[in-house]
Amino acid sequence: MKILYCGDIVGRAGREAVKRHLPALRKELGLDVVVGNGENSAAGFGITAKIAAELHDAGVDIITTGNHAFDQREIMSYMDTDRRILRPANYPPGTPGRGAALVTTKGGAEVLVVQVMTRLFMEALDDPFRAVEDALAAQELGRTVDVVIVDVHGEATSEKMAMGHMLDGRASLVVGSHSHIPTADAQIFSGGTAYQTDAGMCGDYDSVIGMQKDEAIARFVTRLRRERLEPAEGEGTFCAVYCETDDATGLALRVCPVRQGGRLRPERP
């Protein structure tokens, strides 16, 4: 199977990058399933039902989120109706939405997508390692499901990598989100799981992680918040991770970064 994971979609620039590049990539690469992180897609903070529909229309099958999952209050009720949008599985019981989704592709393959949020330098949520184990308890890669994709939303590279190694051989792709910077460590672990610490963002890289520079710089220099952070509005770079899996085992055969448009050097599978 052929999988694409799109990094954090930041503001209008990120949405436009997805709409500009994803439909063609989906066709050219023959993608079976596309996952994208949409937690910054609504002016940098959260996601709305309208934007979720916009991303689905562009070809994103499953939308993950993260620490900004509920910045837009309207999304709380929407998450209970659209099973194609996830919030981290390790939010406490009673939180709206779900942390895992089982998707059937057009070819009939079963794909499990799970998201967790890490805890180092992040919010004090429930244990993400246990949450992943719970999500995988009823499924086995290559037997009950054809593909397992895990989005690890977090700050610390060590915590993301520990998650990847823990899931080696049990997931097809473990990929990090949240830092908005693409890492250069795309690899296949010894057990057959594809991994990249962070996919980067779909957004304008002439910015501070997707936000306009002046206010972001001022906050570091003065320690004061003068204005609301606003997304940068130049041409966005589409950043993603591409993965091919063995149809018999669900394990990875190939993984590589994808970058199109904007300021970063292009990368194609």
CATH number at residue 183: 3.60.21.10
Which pLDDT belongs to residue 48?
Answer: 98
For the question of residue 165 being annotated catalytic, the response is no
Is residue 121 in a domain?
yes
Under 8 Å between Cβ of 114 and 167: no
Angle among Cα 15, 23, 155 to the nearest 5 degrees reads 45
b/e burial code for range 167-197 (CB count within 10 A of at least 16 → b): bbbbbbbbbbbbbbebbeebebbeebbbbbb
CA distance 180 to 209: 6
Domains in the chain, number: 1
Q: What is the structure's pLDDT at 226?
A: 87
Quick one: tokens of 152?
A: 């690890």
Q: Does the residue 26 lie in any domain? A: yes
Residues of the chain falling short of pLDDT 50: none
Q: What angle do CA 184, 126, 142 make, to 5 degrees?
A: 60
Q: Which two tokens stand for residue 18?
A: 């997805």
Residue 269 lies in a domain: no
267 in a structural domain: no
Model pLDDT, residue 33: 98
In-domain check, residue 66: yes
Q: Could you list the residue range(s) of the whole structural domain that residue 133 is in?
A: 2-260
Q: Given the residues 56, 68, 153, 178, select the one marked as catalytic.
A: 68
Give a yes or no: residue 265 inside a domain: no
Partners of 226 in the β-ladder: none
pLDDT in tens, 62-96: 999 999 999 999 999 999 999 999 999 999 999 99
Does any domain span residue 24? yes
How would you label 231-263 residue by residue, b for 16+ Cβ within 10 Å and e otherwise? bbeebbbbbbbbbbbeeeebbbeebbbbbbbbe
Element (H, E) at 52: helix 49-58
Q: What is the pLDDT of residue 104?
A: 97
The neighbouring-strand residues paired with 259 are 239, 267
Asked whether residue 158 is assigned to any structural domain, the reply reads: yes
- Please give the full DSSP string across 156-199, using - where no structure is assigned: -HHHHHHHHHHTTTT-SEEEEESS-SB-S--EE-TTS-EEES-B
